[in-house]
Amino acid sequence: MRPVIYNDVLAAVAVAAAAPPDQHGVIIATLIREADLAEVYRGRYQSAHPVFGDGSLMTAALRHPTRGPTSFQCAEGLAAWIAVLKALQALLPLSDVDFSLDEPSQSRTRLRLFTHSAR
C-alpha cells in the first residue's frame, strides 16, 4: 500500500461507516488488502491495477459505492474512525509509544513529564 494520507483515511472511514460496526474490521482489512495488491501490481507493471487502482487506500475505498457518515458527532462515524485508525496502527512496526487510553491517570502522569516549566 502507498503511504497513507488524511484523505485515504477519510475515504476508508466513509466506506466502513456505511456498514454495521461488527463488519468494520472485515471491510478495512479488505480495503488494505486491495491497496496492497494494487501497489504490488503497480510496482511490477508500472501502471495502476485494472480493478484496485494505484495502491492507495483512497482508490481502494472509492471503488465501494456505499458511504456512511464521517462526522465525529455521530456514533457510526466515530466508531469507523476508531476502527480505521486502529487497523492502520496495527500495520506500524512496534514502538515504545503507547496510544492507549485505558488508564487516563497514567497518561496524564506521562504527559506531565514533558510539560515546560517557566521557572
pLDDT bracket for residue 119 (50, 70, 90)? very low
The more confidently predicted of residues 94 and 57 is 57
**Residues spanned by the domain of 82:** 6-93
How many structural domains compose the chain? 1
* 63-74 burial code (b ≥16 CB/10 A, e <16): ebeeebbbeeee
Residue from 79, 63, 91, 62 nearest 23 by CA: 79
Q: Percentage of residues in the chain with pLDDT exceeding 70?
A: 79
**Residue 92 confidence (pLDDT):** 85
Average pLDDT over every residue of 57-74: 93
Q: What is the pTM of this model?
A: 0.77
Within a domain: residue 86? Answer: yes
Within a domain: residue 98? Answer: no
